[in-house]
Homo-oligomer: A and B are copies of this chain.
Amino acid sequence: MEKKPTFKCAANPEVKELSEMLKVISDPSRLRILCTLFFGEKCVCEVEEGLAISQPLASHHLGVLREAGLVEVRKEGTSSYYSLVPEALQKLNREFREILGEHKLPDRYPERSRC
């Protein structure tokens, strides 16, 4: 007999989904990569230099961001140019607000009620 969560919000699949996305962007290198990509696409060697990390490490983190759907890649010659996926960022912002948005706080907090 296995226990089940009794809080509805705790069983919300969107929460699990958001936590996975947050895990991806919570690595400092990856968050810094995202920051730089707001200014436009960058190739791996630019990320490497811009963040002062090794080439395999830059490639690895870009790969994680790509798997998560946050960035996409365009190949040109021997170079790979990475850029943000605007829709993914919009979705991330939306889900963050929906789950952790400050507007969810009641005027009088804390209070006790069912969840």
Task: Determine the distance from Cα of A96 to Cα of B35 in the docked complex, in whole angstroms.
Answer: 11
Known: A5-B50, A93-B100. A35 touches B19 (CB 8 A): no
Could you say how many copies of this chain the assembly holds? 2
Chain A interface SS verdict (over half)? helix
Give A73-115 as 1s and 0s: 1 = Cβ < 8 Å from B's Cβ atoms.
0000000000110100110110011011110111001111111
* B-side contacts of A44, CB under 8 Å: none
Task: Determine the distance from Cα of A31 to Cα of B20 in the docked complex, in whole angstroms.
Answer: 10
* B-side contacts of A59, CB under 8 Å: none
Which 8 A-B pairs give the minimum distances between C-beta atoms?
A39-B115, A22-B26, A7-B50, A83-B110, A3-B52, A41-B110, A23-B26, A10-B32
Task: Please list 15 pairs of residues, one from A and one from B, whose beta carbons are closer than 8 Å in the complex, sorted by A's number.
Answer: A4-B52, A7-B36, A7-B50, A10-B32, A10-B50, A12-B35, A15-B31, A19-B31, A20-B28, A22-B25, A40-B112, A83-B110, A84-B109, A93-B96, A93-B100
